[in-house]
């Protein structure tokens, strides 16, 4: 969660029935170590109280009455100046219209204007708008024009989602869920990170090799470490392509997803995406063998126990590191070594034979590391002989550490 740590997030809440979701958002952001300052518009106060936000953020929430208090003349400037991002969620059609036209008639719209003013010292404070309204209001040309105008000025628009609306109708207008909103906030905050303008390709999940139309040979990889790496690279500002097998995970917001199933499909995707990449991290558990011939029809019990002949799959990392195909190699190529014995010896061999810049070795025989669990314990082995043992960490922390090493190698 490093990209949110100590970030100052100014959260504007406007008058929508979805205002209750903003409390959950504020709570989640606070738990991720962000400093959340909330401004409620007068209409928002009809749906939710400042006390709700104060209770979850541990910080004072601002309302219209603060505009007319002792610090009135500087409050709106101060709030905007200190913020790393201004998020307005939920943002009504009315507030969108005001923002588009530079109207400043309440503490939130005044602050938005002060934070984004071209001559202001805080012109860089990004604006993220999460619309919430009835479908008809969202589709209305006035709202669409206002949003287009805001986008043109550099605002990020997140959502709205389709589904049930407070009016009882279904359509596009629902505030996106807090978890997805956090993904958008991370994406915006990360844009100026160490890997800005760099392309990072990450592979994730376990490949599936068909035996027949319904059965596959696969492994226990959940994809968690690979998805965490994609998120960490996004947090660092990279353009990220995630090449993934089917998993139960939701790809991070902002990632470019390439879906694959077999080792062969993953190989083609990795080689294609690596051609213009700065870094490749192979976190996927690739099958080493596949059935030589997948049965055209479902294998039946009555036909007896099948004799399955296997053949070796291609080594994707070796090919991507430029060994077989003679292609352009990403500047940093990294892999994982999942081992159940002789961890460092086996990982060292892979580092060398696959010509990697570094490899993350993990002992899958331990209960708290490797496949399916939330944590991992890895030792990083570098091409220059350096070794670094990381303590037991969450997969997100391991990912942050690996991405930091990738950034250092690219610098
Ligand atoms: N890998 C790959 N292509 C393969 C097999 C593995 O690119 N056909 C990559 C994995 O994504 C991982 C690294 O190589 O980053 C090591 O994978 P691992 O399964 O630990 O090792 P193998 O190369 O399969 O060697 P072994 O079977 O001896 O363990």
Q: What is the DSSP string of 260-271?
A: --SHHHHHHHHH
**Whose alpha carbon is nearest atom 15 of ligand 1?**
335
Spatial neighbors of 135 by CB under 8 A, at least 6 apart, are 165, 167, 169, 170, 171, 172, 173
Instruction: Quote the CA–CA distance of 411 and 409 in Å, as a whole number.
Output: 5
Of 373, 372, 350, 375, nearest to 361 by C-alpha is 350
Q: What is the DSSP string of 128-163?
A: EEEE---HHHHHSHHHHHHHHHHHHTT-EE--PEEE
- H/E run at residue 339: strand 332-339
Q: What is the CA radius of gyration of the chain?
A: 25
**Whose alpha carbon is nearest atom 20 of ligand 1?**
337
Cβ pair 229, 201 in contact under 8 A: no
- Give 191's Cβ-side CA count (13 Å radius): 12
Tell me which of 205, 317, 332 to substitute to probe ligand 1's pocket, judged by most ligand atoms within 8 Å of the beta carbon: 317
Residue 187 three-state SS: helix
Cβ pair 333, 316 in contact under 8 A: no
**Whose alpha carbon is nearest atom 16 of ligand 1?**
337
- What is the pLDDT, as a whole number, of residue 118? 45
Cβ pair 30, 1 in contact under 8 A: no
Phi-psi region of 322 (alpha: psi -120 to 50; beta: other; left: phi over 0): left
Instruction: Quote the CA–CA distance of 376 and 262 in Å, as a whole number.
Output: 25
- What is the pLDDT, as a whole number, of residue 372? 67
As annotated, the active-site residues are 219
**Whose alpha carbon is nearest atom 21 of ligand 1?**
337
Give the pTM: 0.92
Of 37, 382, 1, nearest to 228 by C-alpha is 1
Tell me the backbone φ, ψ of residue 57, rounded to 5 degrees: -100, -20
Residue 113 three-state SS: helix
Q: What is the DSSP string of 38-81?
A: EEE-TTGGGTS-HHHHHHHHSSPPB-HHHHTSTTHHHHHHHHHH
CA distances from 92 to 131, 143, 148, 153, 154 (A): 6, 10, 15, 19, 19
Q: Does the C-beta of 282 come closer than 6 Å to ligand 1? A: yes
**Which atom of ligand 1 is nearest the CA belonging to 318?**
7
Indicate the DSSP class of residue 302.
G
End-to-end CA distance of the chain: 23
Instruction: Quote the CA–CA distance of 293 and 303 in Å, as a whole number.
Output: 17
Q: Which segments of 165-207 are extended strands (E)?
A: 170-174, 199-204
**Which atom of ligand 1 is nearest the CA belonging to 285?**
11
Instruction: Quote the CA–CA distance of 171 and 159 in Å, as a whole number.
Output: 12
Q: Note down pLDDT in tens along the chain; length 411 residues.
A: 579 999 999 999 999 999 999 999 999 999 999 999 999 999 999 999 999 999 999 999 999 888 776 565 567 677 877 899 999 999 999 999 999 999 999 999 999 998 865 444 445 789 999 999 988 899 999 999 999 999 999 999 999 999 888 888 788 999 999 999 999 999 999 998 999 999 999 999 999 999 999 999 999 999 999 999 999 999 999 999 999 999 999 999 999 999 999 999 999 999 999 999 999 999 999 999 999 999 999 999 999 999 999 999 999 999 998 755 556 899 999 999 989 899 999 999 999 999 999 999 998 877 777 676 788 899 999 999 999 999 999 999 999 999 999 999 999
Ligand 1 centroid distance, CA of 279 (Å): 18
Rounded-to-10 torsion of CA 407, 408, 409, 411: 80
Ligand 1 centroid distance, CA of 209 (Å): 15
- What is the pLDDT, as a whole number, of residue 120? 44
Ligand 1 centroid distance, CA of 195 (Å): 26
Tell me the backbone φ, ψ of residue 17, rounded to 5 degrees: -60, -20
Q: Which residue segments constitute the domains of the chain, with CATH numbers given?
A: 8-191 (3.40.50.1950), 194-293+311-410 (3.40.50.10300)
């Amino acid at each position: 969660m490093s990209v949110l740590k100590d970030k100052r997030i100014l959260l504007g809440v406007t008058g929508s029935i979805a205002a209750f979701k903003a409390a959950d958002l504020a709570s989640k952001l606070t738990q991720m170590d962000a400093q959340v300052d909330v401004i409620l518009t007068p209409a928002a106060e009809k749906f939710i109280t400042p006390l709700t936000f104060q209770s979850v953020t541990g910080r004072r929430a601002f309302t219209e009455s603060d505009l007319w208090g002792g610090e009135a003349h500087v409050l709106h400037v101060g709030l905007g100046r200190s913020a790393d991002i201004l998020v307005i969620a939920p943002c009504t059609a009315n507030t969108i219209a005001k923002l588009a036209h530079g109207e400043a008639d309440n503490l939130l719209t005044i602050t938005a204007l002060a934070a984004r003013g071209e001559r202001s010292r805080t012109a860089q404070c990004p604006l993220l708008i999460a619309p919430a309204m009835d479908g008809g209001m969202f589709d209305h040309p006035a709202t669409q024009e206002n949003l287009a105008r805001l986008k043109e000025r550099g605002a990020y628009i997140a959502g709205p989602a389709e589904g049930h609306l407070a009016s009882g109708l279904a359509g596009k207008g629902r505030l996106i869920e807090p978890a997805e909103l956090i993904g958008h906030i991370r994406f915006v905050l990360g844009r100026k990170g160490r890997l800005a303008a760099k392309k990072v390709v990450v592979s994730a999940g376990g490949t599936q090799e068909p035996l027949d139309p319904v059965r596959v040979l696969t492994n226990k990889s959940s994809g968690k470490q690979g998805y965490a790496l994609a998120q960490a690279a996004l947090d660092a500002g990279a353009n990220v392509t995630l090449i993934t097998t089917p998993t139960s995970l939701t790809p991070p917001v902002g990632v470019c997803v390439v879906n694959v199933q077999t080792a062969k499909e993953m190989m083609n995707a990795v080689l294609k995406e690596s051609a213009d990449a700065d870094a490749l991290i192979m976190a996927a558990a690739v099958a080493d063998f596949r059935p030589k011939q997948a049965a055209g029809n479902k294998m039946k019990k009555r036909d007896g126990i099948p004799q399955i002949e296997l053949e070796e799959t291609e080594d994707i990392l070796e090919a991507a590191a430029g060994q077989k195909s003679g292609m352009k190699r990403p500047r940093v190529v990294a892999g994982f070594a999942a081992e159940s014995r002789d961890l460092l010896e086996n990982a060292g061999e892979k580092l060398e034979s696959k010509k990697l810049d570094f490899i993350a070795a993990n002992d899958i025989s331990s209960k708290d590391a490797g496949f399916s669990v939330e944590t991992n314990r890895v030792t990083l082995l570098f091409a220059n002989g350096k070794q670094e043992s990381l303590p037991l960490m969450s997969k997100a922390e391991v990912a942050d550490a690996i991405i930091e090493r990738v950034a250092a190698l690219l610098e």
